[in-house]
Amino acid sequence: MAMHDVAVVGYAETKIVEKADRDIWELQADILESLLEKTGFEKNEIDGLILSSSMTGAGNAFWSQTTADQLALELDFCQTVDIGGCSPTGALARACMAIDAGMCTTVLCLYADTQASEANRQRPRSAFGEWQQPTGYLGPPAAFGLLSKRYEHQFGLDFSALAKLAVAQRGHAVLNDLACEKLRKPITIDDYLNSRMIADPVRLLDSVMVCDGASGLLVTSKKNAEKRGIAKCVVPVGYGERTNYRARDNIVDITETGHLPAGARAFAQAGLKASDIASFHPYDDFIIAIMLQLEMLGFCKHGQGCDFIHAHDFTHTGDLPLNTGGGQISAGQAGLAGGGTNLIEAVRQLFGEGGKRQVKNTKNALVTGIGGIPYGRNWQSSVVMILTPNA
Amino acid sequence: MSAQQDAIKDTLAVKREPPQWRTFSKTYWDATREKKLLLQYDPRAKRYQHYPRPAGIVTGHRALEWREVTGKGEIFSYTIARLTREPFAGHEPFFLVLVTLDEGVNVMANMVSCGMDDMKIGLRVRPHWAPLSNGTHLLMFEPDR
């Protein structure tokens, strides 16, 4: 996959809000307009559309076509990516593939969800109803409760380490005007430790809050970007994706995730290793997911995440800046489009447009995704992408 | 940590809708009418599997057997559900557990007759069948004292 022949030439983001008072197609139109204004592209130059999954769109089996019709886009490539929270980064990888394969030239990657105000998830066809719902299992918090207890059993779990990550991300959200206002208040280690239990040992301040919002990227071939004289762009240089890690095993170590193989592939493609990473933008639905990803991606050994966290500074001026916009936990989770929050922040940093929270080292950025929670495991899809500025 | 000291509840009084079975899981639910636990067994892989799938998870072949098992096992992990929706509201906090059956599969379930202090990873458990309104039963676990 020749991803480095593709350029991300623009990014856009709406404010994340507790409940949208505007229609999802209006939010998407905001993203489209913003991308056109920022990049100088004409609307008719967009010949590819890739949407991430959306709870609002979930009842519509024709989601990408209907959205393309609303935005009046004439396309040679049109699809929705349905790997849950991995969809935004997965969409960018698929945009690279489509452009590289010659199917289209310029792709709008559009991530929007208004799950908080309009969820249209009818009867989900999954194992949930038959095997999990009867236990009172509420989904992600319970899954992360089971995972955290198991981690504690295998390795021990220092909650003050997890607290440190929560505090760092919250500090970043305070600097991010687009973060959900309700979350833009600093927190302390004690606030985290004293926040109420949701699914022991998962606390309120471990968890994302479901919100509404939209984001997007405009992606074109590097050749096209050069022809147009676009100097500032971001290039994906490594990508790995794994769905249903160890699917053929009945019992798996739920502290080990698909980021292990996905990360190895992304690093190999990029010719980089964990210690080369300049800023880290992992998918964060629960704080412990960040620590597991640090372990799986090789920042530290499996089981040693807490020690690693205590030894490093995750603020935007630190040695490993983490989710510098606040991540989803502190900026708000824009439904199934929430992975766009981590991705767009990484692109913004590499554009050098981080403002008050700009990181110093913009040699690269690492973004991840987590998507779907299956029966008795950790998560279904894991993606890892390494981005660099067009140097 | 006063929340930790709240008495844990069981969920036996929850009015659950009987789960919708699928064509390939009906045998499991039918057996629960007699409080029998059946697991799918793939003779090619010589492995049990759960939850029931349309094909063997190792081989992809569809010639699966149903075998009755004791349902004994041990706690693989647990959490305490404190946020609930109907019909569980008012029945929290309660245990959600993953149990590793002796046959080598993990099962998600609730616990009965198990206090906060009894619960630990590795605790031996045995089945407890909770009746559902259509005559089938839901598999729960209790400590195997």
pLDDT of residue A332 exceeding 50: yes
Among partner residues B11, B80, B108, which is closest to A376 by beta-carbon distance? Answer: B108
Do A179 and A195 fall into the same domain? Answer: yes
| Residue A290, domain extent | 132-209+234-389
Tell if the CB–CB gap between A135 and B80 is shorter than 8 Å.
Answer: no
Tell if the CB–CB gap between B96 and A130 is shorter than 8 Å.
Answer: no
Do A217 and A161 fall into the same domain? Answer: no
Token pair in block for residue B92: 């929290």
Residue A123 lies in a domain: no
Residue A277 lies in a domain: yes
Instruction: Look at residue B6 in the predicted model and tell me its pLDDT.
Output: 67
CA distance A299 to A319: 12
Do A223 and A250 fall into the same domain? Answer: no
Residue B87 lies in a domain: yes
Residue closest to A313 by CA, chosen among A157, A165, A186? A165
Do A91 and A240 fall into the same domain? Answer: no
Q: Of the candidates A195, A227, A259, which is a domain's last residue?
A: A227
Instruction: Look at residue A153 in the predicted model and tell me its pLDDT.
Output: 98
Mean pLDDT, rounded, for A108-117? 96
Residue A124 lies in a domain: no
Over residues A184-205, the pLDDT tens digits come to 999 999 999 999 999 999 999 9
**A204 and B CB contact within 8 Å:** no
Residue A125 lies in a domain: no
| Closest chain A residue to B109, measured at CA | A135
Over residues A119-140, the pLDDT tens digits come to 887 777 788 889 998 999 988 9
pLDDT of residue A1 exceeding 70: no
Strands across the sheet containing B37-42: B47-49, B37-42, B65-69
Do A348 and A380 fall into the same domain? Answer: yes
The number of domains in chain A is: 2
Mean pLDDT, rounded, for A13-27? 97
B2: confidence class by pLDDT, cuts 50, 70, 90: very low
Given phi > 0 = left and psi -120 to 50 = alpha, else beta, which region is A231? alpha
pLDDT of residue B87 exceeding 80: yes
Residue A6 sits at φ, ψ, to 5 deg, of -120, 145
Percent of chain A topping pLDDT 70: 99
Best to test chain A binding among B41, B108, B141 (most A CBs inside 10 Å): B108
CA distance A20 to B134: 42
Percent of chain A topping pLDDT 90: 93
Over residues B115-129, the pLDDT tens digits come to 999 999 999 999 999
Q: Of the candidates A178, A201, A227, which is a domain's last residue?
A: A227
Tell if the CB–CB gap between B20 and A129 is shorter than 8 Å.
Answer: yes
Tell if the CB–CB gap between B77 and A250 is shorter than 8 Å.
Answer: no
Do A145 and A170 fall into the same domain? Answer: yes
CA distance A14 to A68: 19
pLDDT of residue B134 exceeding 70: yes
Instruction: Look at residue A4 in the predicted model and tell me its pLDDT.
Output: 78
Contacts of B32 in chain A (CB under 8 A): none
Residue A159 lies in a domain: yes
Tell if the CB–CB gap between A137 and B77 is shorter than 8 Å.
Answer: no
CA atoms within 13 Å, Cβ hemisphere of B62: 4
Residue B4 lies in a domain: no
Name the minimum distance, in Å, from the CA of A355 to any CA of chain B: 38
Residue A309 lies in a domain: yes
Tell if the CB–CB gap between A198 and B83 is shorter than 8 Å.
Answer: yes
Do A26 and A144 fall into the same domain? Answer: no
> Chain B residues with CB-CB distance to A under 8 A?
3-4, 11, 14, 16, 19-22, 25, 47-51, 57-58, 76-85, 88, 91-92, 94, 96, 98, 100, 104-110, 121, 138
Residue B8 lies in a domain: no
Among partner residues A130, A145, A148, which is closest to B25 by beta-carbon distance? Answer: A130
| Residue B60, domain extent | 23-143
Instruction: Look at residue A125 in the predicted model and tell me its pLDDT.
Output: 79
Tell if the CB–CB gap between B20 and A199 is shorter than 8 Å.
Answer: no
Tell if the CB–CB gap between A197 and B80 is shorter than 8 Å.
Answer: yes
Instruction: Look at residue A139 in the predicted model and tell me its pLDDT.
Output: 87
Given phi > 0 = left and psi -120 to 50 = alpha, else beta, which region is A156? left
Residue B125 lies in a domain: yes
Do A215 and A189 fall into the same domain? Answer: no
A107: confidence class by pLDDT, cuts 50, 70, 90: very high
Over residues B32-83, the pLDDT tens digits come to 999 999 999 999 999 999 999 999 999 999 999 999 999 999 999 999 999 8
Token pair in block for residue A69: 């019709």
C-beta of residue B10 within 8 angstroms of C-beta of residue B2: no
Global confidence as pTM: 0.95
CA distance A33 to A35: 5
Mean pLDDT, rounded, for A337-359? 98
Residue A90 lies in a domain: yes
Among partner residues B16, B79, B105, which is closest to A149 by beta-carbon distance? Answer: B79
B4: confidence class by pLDDT, cuts 50, 70, 90: very low
Do A166 and A63 fall into the same domain? Answer: no
Mean pLDDT, rounded, for A353-374? 97
Residue B44 lies in a domain: yes
DSSP A234: E
The number of domains in chain B is: 1
Q: What CATH number is associated with residue A267?
A: 3.40.47.10
Rg of the Cα atoms in chain A = 19
Contacts of B105 in chain A (CB under 8 A): 250-251
Instruction: Look at residue A14 in the predicted model and tell me its pLDDT.
Output: 98
Quickly count: other Cβ atoms within 10 Å of residue A391's Cβ: 7
Rg of the Cα atoms in chain B = 16
Among partner residues B22, B48, B94, which is closest to A250 by beta-carbon distance? Answer: B48
Token pair in block for residue A246: 């160890």
Residue A126 lies in a domain: no
Given phi > 0 = left and psi -120 to 50 = alpha, else beta, which region is A326? left
Contacts of A153 in chain B (CB under 8 A): 77, 121
Do A190 and A324 fall into the same domain? Answer: yes
B1: confidence class by pLDDT, cuts 50, 70, 90: very low
Name the minimum distance, in Å, from the CA of A82 to any CA of chain B: 22
Do A255 and A358 fall into the same domain? Answer: yes
Contacts of A197 in chain B (CB under 8 A): 3-4, 80, 82
Do A272 and A217 fall into the same domain? Answer: no
pLDDT of residue A271 exceeding 90: yes
Instruction: Look at residue A391 in the predicted model and tell me its pLDDT.
Output: 61
What is the maximal distance between C-alpha atoms in chain A?
Answer: 59
Among partner residues A136, A137, A251, which is closest to B104 by beta-carbon distance? Answer: A251
Contacts of B94 in chain A (CB under 8 A): 136
A273: confidence class by pLDDT, cuts 50, 70, 90: very high
Instruction: Look at residue B3 in the predicted model and tell me its pLDDT.
Output: 46
Whether the ω angle into residue B51 lies within 30 degrees of 0, i.e. cis, is yes
Instruction: Look at residue A167 in the predicted model and tell me its pLDDT.
Output: 98
Q: What mean pLDDT value characterizes chain A?
A: 96
What is the bridge-based pairing of β-strands A365-371 and A381-389?
antiparallel
Residues sharing a CB contact under 8 Å with residue A91, sequence separation 6 or more, in sequence order? A50, A51, A52, A81, A109, A111
